[in-house]
């Protein structure tokens, strides 16, 4: 009892001393840091702002040279033309929208689940070949997606999944980035918590769903954002689809824009704005969790 009381008093004194410290930065330093962050934010936001402004430019302003960043005569004609083109499609626009939502949500859920289940034993279990497996996962991050197009097509064709929803979902599930992110975050959890649960008789699936997943919520929320954005805006998986009623919005928008490249540049900008709305809304909704994940992902136990 005395030892515990002494320990608590010591910890309390340390916390009081820590709170009494004042980390003061000069006004000039604050101004410099603020200016750097402001300039960096503006620089990163310029492509997004330019893309949105281009969607409101009339035809003659799009091809001005030198190009203008801001629009002088804003118009909604590009959005009107996009709606008219979509209404004349052979397959209803709602079908393409359903395909995109279904494929994106399903691929995101399975990617988060499988990446977390793969990362858990890599982070908290010891078995032969563990380091080798993780090295292969990290090594695969260096390859661009185009390198895997042919192997993916062969595998999907062998399983008879060509021209099905599975052909759009399966390639997005096994992303190495998700495993890497989840492993880095799960490693921050104290191993003693997992060992205590095992001593209490909890099975591995119980530990995973009741202890691991609730405590790494910021990590899998971040993974949701990355996966959703990647799947939603990815038209490359259309190489596995031949039926028009299975195509997604990015593939359809790409066909609409490239039908007449010069005349539909404004329509393409409007389509880009339309496609970027869901990922941006999701990112804004989960922004606080993203910041928390990025702050702790590199901390080691």
Q: Are residues 271 and 186 in the same domain?
A: yes
Shared domain check, 155 and 201:
yes
Residue 295 pLDDT: 57
Same-domain check for residues 67 and 114: no
pLDDT the model gives residue 36: 92
At 301 the pLDDT is 46
Per-residue pLDDT 10s for the chain (301 aa) are 344 434 344 444 444 444 444 445 678 778 888 899 999 988 888 888 888 888 888 777 777 777 777 877 787 877 887 777 777 777 787 888 888 889 999 999 999 999 999 888 888 888 888 888 888 888 888 887 778 788 888 888 888 888 888 888 888 887 888 888 888 888 888 888 888 888 888 888 888 888 888 888 888 888 888 888 888 887 766 778 888 788 888 887 777 766 555 556 777 778 788 888 888 888 888 877 666 655 554 444 4
Residue-level pLDDT at 2: 40
Looking at the fold, whether 175 and 36 belong to one and the same domain comes out as no
Q: Are residues 186 and 283 in the same domain?
A: yes
What is the pTM (predicted TM-score) of this model? 0.74
For residues 143 and 291, membership in a common domain is answered with yes
Residue 236 in any domain: the answer is: yes
CATH of the domain at 166: 1.10.3720.10
Q: What is the per-residue pLDDT for 291?
A: 67
pLDDT at residue 125, as a whole number: 83
Question: 239: which 2 tokens?
Answer: 């190489």
Number of domains observed in the structure of the chain: 2
Work out the burial of residue 27: count CB atoms within 10 Å of its CB; fewer than 13 is exposed, 13-18 middle, 19 or more buried. exposed
Q: Domain span at residue 71?
A: 26-75
pLDDT for position 250: 81
Residues 67 and 135 in one domain: no
Same domain for 61 and 99: no
Is 115 contained in some domain?
Answer: yes
Asked if residue 18 belongs to a domain, the reply is no
Report in angstroms the alpha-carbon separations of 250 from 74, 96, 133, 234, 285. Answer: 25, 9, 34, 7, 23
Do 159 and 234 sit in the same domain of this protein? yes
Distance set, CA 146 to CA 89, 150, 175, 223, 283 (Å) = 29, 8, 14, 21, 26
Q: Are residues 38 and 100 in the same domain?
A: no
């Amino acid at each position: 009892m005395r030892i515990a009381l002494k320990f608590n008093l010591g910890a309390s004194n340390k916390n009081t001393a820590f709170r009494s410290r004042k980390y003061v930065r000069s006004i000039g330093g604050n101004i410099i840091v603020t200016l750097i962050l402001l300039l960096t934010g503006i620089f990163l936001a310029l492509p997004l702002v330019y893309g949105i402004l281009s969607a409101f430019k009339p035809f003659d302003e799009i091809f001005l040279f030198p190009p203008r960043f801001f629009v002088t005569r804003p118009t909604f004609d590009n959005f009107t033309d996009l709606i008219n083109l979509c209404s004349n499609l052979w397959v209803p626009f709602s079908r393409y929208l359903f395909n995109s939502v279904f494929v994106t949500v399903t691929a995101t859920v399975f990617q988060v689940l499988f990446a977390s289940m793969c990362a858990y034993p890599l982070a908290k279990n010891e078995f032969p070949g563990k380091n080798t497996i993780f090295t292969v996962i990290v090594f695969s991050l260096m390859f661009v997606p185009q390198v895997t197009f042919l192997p993916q097509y062969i595998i999907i064709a062998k399983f008879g999944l060509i021209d099905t929803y599975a052909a759009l979902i399966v390639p997005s599930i096994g992303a190495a980035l998700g495993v890497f992110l989840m492993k880095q975050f799960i490693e921050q959890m104290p191993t003693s918590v997992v060992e205590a649960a095992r001593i209490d008789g909890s099975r591995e699936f119980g530990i995973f769903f009741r202890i691991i997943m609730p405590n790494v919520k910021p990590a899998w929320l971040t993974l949701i954002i990355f996966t959703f954005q990647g799947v939603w805006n990815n038209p490359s998986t259309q190489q596995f689809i031949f039926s028009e009623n299975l195509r997604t919005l990015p593939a359809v928008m790409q066909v609409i824009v490239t039908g007449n490249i010069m005349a539909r540049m404004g329509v393409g900008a409007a389509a880009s704005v339309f496609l970027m709305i869901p990922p941006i809304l999701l990112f804004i909704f989960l922004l606080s969790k993203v910041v928390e994940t990025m702050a702790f992902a590199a901390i080691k136990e």
